[in-house]
Amino acid sequence: MANEDAAPDLNNPETQPMPEGGWSESCEEVSGAIVVPPKVSAFTQAAGILYPDGRHCARGALWRKFRPLTILPEMPETEPDVLKGRWLWGGVLWAHFGHFLVESTSRLWALDRIEGDIDGVLFIPKRPRVGDAVRGFQRDYLDLMQAGLPIEVATNPVRVEQLIVPGQGFGLGAITRGTPAFRSAIRNRFGRGIEPDGASRLYISRSALGLGKGGLLGEERLEDHLRAEGYEIFHPEKYTLATQIARYKAARQVVAADGSALHLFAMVGRAEQQVAMILRRSSGANNLLATNVAAFCGSDPLIIDALNTEWWRRDHGKSNRLSFGELHHPAIAEALSGTGFIREGADWPIISDEERERLFKAKGLDLENSFMESPEHERQRKRRMREERRARRAERETMQED
């Protein structure tokens, strides 16, 4: 495993891929490569590519931050079936939309560099139980890169006649900025034929997602405020990728709760678009998402860290994807009005204790017994309340003196 503090050798595929280039922008073509899918569902999996003599083809590994998630697999005990033809290595096929966008697309930059024809893109499943299933959005995405390109998912070891293995040009970690080759391929290919269609002001919402996705407490009220400011409230999961892209291309100002939809926006966004990202929980993923948008679009998004507090599942005891961030509407209004996203002087009231209880009940959640408040946010919230009380008292005293 690579040392976090050591400067990576850009040309060594046994070190993390870097956006500056090196092995992340190079390809090799392997005759008789053996592709081994994972046997078990785990964070780190023995899976990937072997050379015909059993050596590990490290260029084919999926990295996340400072470590590979796919590591040297064992040589199959029996001779694998042969996959005839010339295939592009796609890597790990994620069913999760966000991880698919960031990690399953990371080799597709090679479509701009390959000479000659290929028979399709070859993946291995992240979860063995999924088998060779290809979801609609996965098929649609590939078509938006190169229409009609076949997708093959190896669920058993397979020997590939010719396998083109590109480096990892995108992902999570330093590589979130994407290599120049990856960003160029996305600009040259992805969704190029889709025309802008939609409102000039767009709010990308998470409010229609299921409870298993976590979320923002008070997002529906935020939508009401933004709707009054002329924003279209857009739930991307209800639309095709083509429609999502059309909306993102059309918008002049985009406000979004942080999440997977912004990864897709970044692939078609432009520098002249204003983007505001409202954080929904305490997570390092937020920083990577902002980095992704800035690098691909060519301008920094406005980051709004305006949680009144965060509610954790008691049985988890920490911030994770099931946590609920409670929005601090006055702080959001101040940030948006100060940067031209909404009118100046907008006054959005904070959520009361009674409203918080109603919102949890409306979601079918037991606030008192199933959730706990983030200790850090609780301290900050109570400090803000004391400061606000002191400010109101000082204002009253001043008015009485006058």
**How confident is the model at residue 222, as a pLDDT?**
95
Structure-model confidence comparison of residues 150 and 208, the more confident one: 150
Greatest CA separation for the chain: 92
Pick from 397, 396, 322, 335: which is nearest to 363 by CA? Answer: 322
- E-only strand ranges, 74-205: 81-93, 120-125, 151-153, 158-166, 201-204
Q: What is the CATH number of the domain that holds 233?
A: 3.40.50
184: its two tokens: 């160029």
State whether 210 and 355 are in the same domain.
Answer: yes
pLDDT tens for 271-310 read 999 999 998 876 555 689 999 999 999 999 999 988 888 8
Query: Is there a domain that residue 375 lies in?
Result: yes
Q: What is the pLDDT of residue 211?
A: 57
- Dist. CA 59–CA 10, nearest whole Å: 12
Domain-embedded: residue 10: no
Which of 293, 199, 298 lies closest to 251 in space, CA to CA? 199
Q: What is the mean pLDDT of residues 113-122?
A: 96
Q: Would you say residue 15 lies in a domain?
A: no
Quickly state the pLDDT bin for 212 (edges 50, 70, 90).
low
Residue 79, pLDDT > 70, answer: yes
Same-domain status, 125 and 35? yes
The answer to whether residue 4 is domain-embedded is no
Residue 45 lies in a domain: yes
CB 279 within 8 A of CB 298: no
* Residue finishing a domain among 166, 189, 212: 189
- pLDDT category of residue 1 using cuts at 50, 70 and 90: very low
Whether 17 is covered by a domain: the verdict is: no
What distance in Å separates the CA atoms of residue 187 and residue 168, rounded to the nearest whole number?
A: 17
Residue 267 in any domain: the answer is yes
Average pLDDT over residues 25-54: 97
**207 shares a domain with 185:** no
pLDDT tens digits, 132-189 = 999 999 999 999 999 999 999 999 999 999 999 999 999 999 999 999 999 999 999 9
- Bridge-partner residues for 266, per DSSP? none
Phi, psi of 52 (to 5 degrees): -55, -30
The model's pTM: 0.89
Name, in order, each residue with C-beta under 8 angstroms of 86's C-beta and a sequence gap of 6 or more: 116, 117, 118, 119, 161, 162, 163, 164
Among 64, 8, 41, smallest CA distance to 125 is for: 41
Q: How many domains does the chain divide into?
A: 2
Give domain status of residue 58, yes or no: yes
Q: Give the integer Cα–Cα distance in Å for 173 and 19.
A: 10
- Return the percentage of the chain with pLDDT > 90, whole number: 72
Across the range 182-197, mean pLDDT stands at 97
Let me know whether 157 and 205 are in one domain.
no
pLDDT at 5 over 60: no
- pLDDT above 70: residue 340: yes
Beta-ladder partners of 253: 201, 274
Question: Which among 142, 162, 189 is the end of a domain?
Answer: 189
| Residue-level pLDDT at 393 | 83
Residues 48 and 157 in one domain: yes
Structure tokens at 348: 């959005």
Pair (218, 158) in one structural domain? no
Shared domain check, 160 and 275: no
Instruction: Say yes or no: 99 and 29 in one domain.
Output: yes
Let me know the angle formed at the C-alpha of 7 by 5 and 11, rounded to the nearest 5 degrees.
140
Q: What's the token pair of residue 327?
A: 């929005």
Domain boundary among 189, 213, 235: 189
Pairing type for strands 48-50 and 27-36 reads antiparallel
Residue 192 in contact with residue 326, Cβ under 8 Å?
no
Q: Specify the amino acid at residue 222.
A: L
Q: Is the pLDDT of residue 113 over 90?
A: yes
- On whether both 33 and 151 belong to a single domain, the answer is yes
40: containing domain? 23-189
pLDDT at 7: 62
Q: Which residues lie below 8 Å from residue 306, measured CB to CB, with a gap of 6+?
A: 278, 279, 327, 328, 331, 332, 335
- Residues 313 and 232 occupy one common structural domain: yes
Do 61 and 137 lie in one domain? The reply is yes
Q: Are residues 122 and 271 in the same domain?
A: no
pLDDT tens-digit profile of 228-267?
999 999 999 999 999 999 999 999 999 998 889 999 999 9
3-state secondary structure 48-59: EEECCCCCECHH
